[in-house]
């Protein structure tokens, strides 16, 4: 009988990863239980065993880039090897129901504003930056804010709704530079508290609210990095609500991470430790959910910019780790650091490999008075 170690070695060799090798993408295994555990449980075991210090890698982003670029799962099936475990799981219920929608706020976004201020930089943008003509993370995020505002055609006196406003960075940029009135909503108490402080003195109202409870009419609507928490069972509802809230001939910009293939599920480790109840839409699902409601005017894929953004976050996180750790040593312990490193670098590798994308889609309601001007 072939041993679990032999099977894992064979699979990793197929994507040029060596067990106990010395290159950037190779892994060093400290605990032999790693092999049967990964064989039984797949991706969730890979992440949990890394958190437990059972293995190490010089550059996790390179490790994941090789796995995802070479389609490790397809190799295993082709060679009729026992499948390590499905990398994705199906949702049988609605994990993004109104009650459950608040879970990710508590688990992920409420873990401490201090950590995010150190990792994200002065813009407090927790989404993909736009690196065209940018040399720093802050410049890339300011570019992203500017790009979104230009795509929306913001003008003084307009009303803007920001669904999933985070710490208020985009709302602040829009209110300061375009003199618009902004309402931003979030499901994170920590985000709402800091956003109100950062946006003080501007025409901005920050609400702790689920998108399904929104009321009013707006000239423009934007949602950046929030649609990943909506869930496929609710995509149509989300688009119906946006349509109802948007004024006639208004514009809606959706900035979201997408998966390249349609299908239910999320990586089990990410779902358990980072974004509970998260689900990435496919481009087809976005178009289907908006059909007969909104008219698509523009689409832009900026996936490679997220690789750069994640690596910049990783650098900031590690540069300021001692400060973060000293803020709350019990919460920010060694296991937390390995979990966060694994999260940031595995996602960077995935964007680099092209298995997930990030896009900006502009929709209009009821057509436009003139041709839409695509901004780049």
Degrees, nearest 5: CA angle 316-319-320: 85
Burial 317-339 (b: 16+ CB within 10 A, else e): beebbeebbeeeeeebeeebbbb
Residue 221: strand pairing partners: 161, 252
Structure tokens, 184:
């931003």
CB 11 within 8 A of CB 84: yes
Q: Which of 128, 149, 165, 347 is catalytic?
A: 347
Radius of gyration over alpha carbons of the chain, in Å? 21
User: Among the residues of the chain, which ranges form H helices?
Assistant: 4-13, 34-41, 43-51, 60-69, 72-78, 103-104, 113-120, 137-152, 169-178, 189-198, 235-245, 268-273, 283-290, 303-319, 321-327, 334-353
Cβ neighbours around 356 below 10 Å, total: 18
Q: Which residues contact 310 (CB under 8 A, 6 or more apart)?
A: 344, 345, 347, 348, 351
Sign of CA dihedral 98, 101, 105, 107: positive
Q: Is 228 helix (H, G, I), strand (E, B) or coil?
A: helix
128 labelled catalytic: no
In 3D, which of 42, 19, 18 has the Cα closest to residue 29?
19
C-alpha 183, offset from chain centre: 22
Sign of CA dihedral 127, 130, 131, 134: negative
- Alpha-carbon distance of 126 to 120, in angstroms, equals 7
Catalytic residue numbers, as ranges: 347
């Amino acid at each position: 009988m072939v041993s679990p170690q032999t099977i894992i070695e064979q699979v990793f060799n197929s994507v040029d990863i060596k067990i106990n090798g010395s290159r950037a993408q190779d892994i060093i295994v400290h605990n032999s239980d790693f092999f049967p555990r990964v064989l039984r449980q797949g991706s969730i075991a890979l992440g949990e065993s890394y958190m437990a210090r059972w293995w190490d890698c010089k550059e996790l982003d390179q490790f994941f880039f090789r796995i995802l670029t070479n389609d490790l799962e397809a190799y295993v099936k082709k060679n009729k090897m026992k499948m390590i475990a499905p990398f994705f799981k199906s949702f049988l219920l609605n994990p993004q129901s109104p009650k459950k929608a608040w879970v990710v706020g508590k688990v992920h976004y409420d873990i401490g504003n201090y950590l995010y201020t150190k990792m994200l930089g002065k813009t407090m943008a927790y989404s993909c930056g736009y690196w065209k003509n940018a040399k720093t993370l802050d410049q890339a995020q300011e570019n992203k804010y500017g790009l979104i505002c230009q795509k929306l055609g913001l003008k003084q006196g307009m009303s803007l709704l920001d669904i999933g406003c985070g710490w208020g960075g985009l709302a602040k940029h829009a209110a300061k530079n375009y003199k618009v009135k902004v309402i931003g909503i979030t499901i994170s108490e920590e985000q709402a508290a800091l956003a109100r402080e950062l946006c003080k003195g501007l025409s901005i109202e920050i609400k702790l609210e689920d998108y399904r409870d929104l009321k009013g009419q707006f000239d423009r609507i934007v949602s950046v990095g929030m649609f990943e928490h909506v869930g496929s069972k609710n995509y149509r509802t989300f688009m119906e609500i946006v349509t109802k809230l948007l004024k006639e001939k208004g514009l809606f910009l959706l900035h979201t991470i997408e998966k390249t293939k349609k299908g239910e599920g999320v990586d089990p480790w990410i779902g358990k430790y980072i974004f509970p109840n998260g689900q990435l839409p496919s481009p087809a699902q976005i178009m289907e959910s908006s059909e007969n409601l909104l008219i698509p005017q523009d689409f832009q894929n900026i996936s490679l910019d997220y690789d750069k953004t994640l690596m910049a976050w990783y650098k900031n996180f590690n540069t300021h780790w001692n400060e973060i750790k000293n803020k709350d040593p019990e919460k920010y312990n060694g296991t937390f650091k390995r979990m966060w490193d694994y999260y940031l670098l595995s996602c960077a590798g995935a964007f680099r490999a092209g298995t997930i994308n990030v896009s900006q889609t502009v929709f209009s309601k009821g057509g436009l008075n003139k041709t839409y001007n695509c901004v780049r």
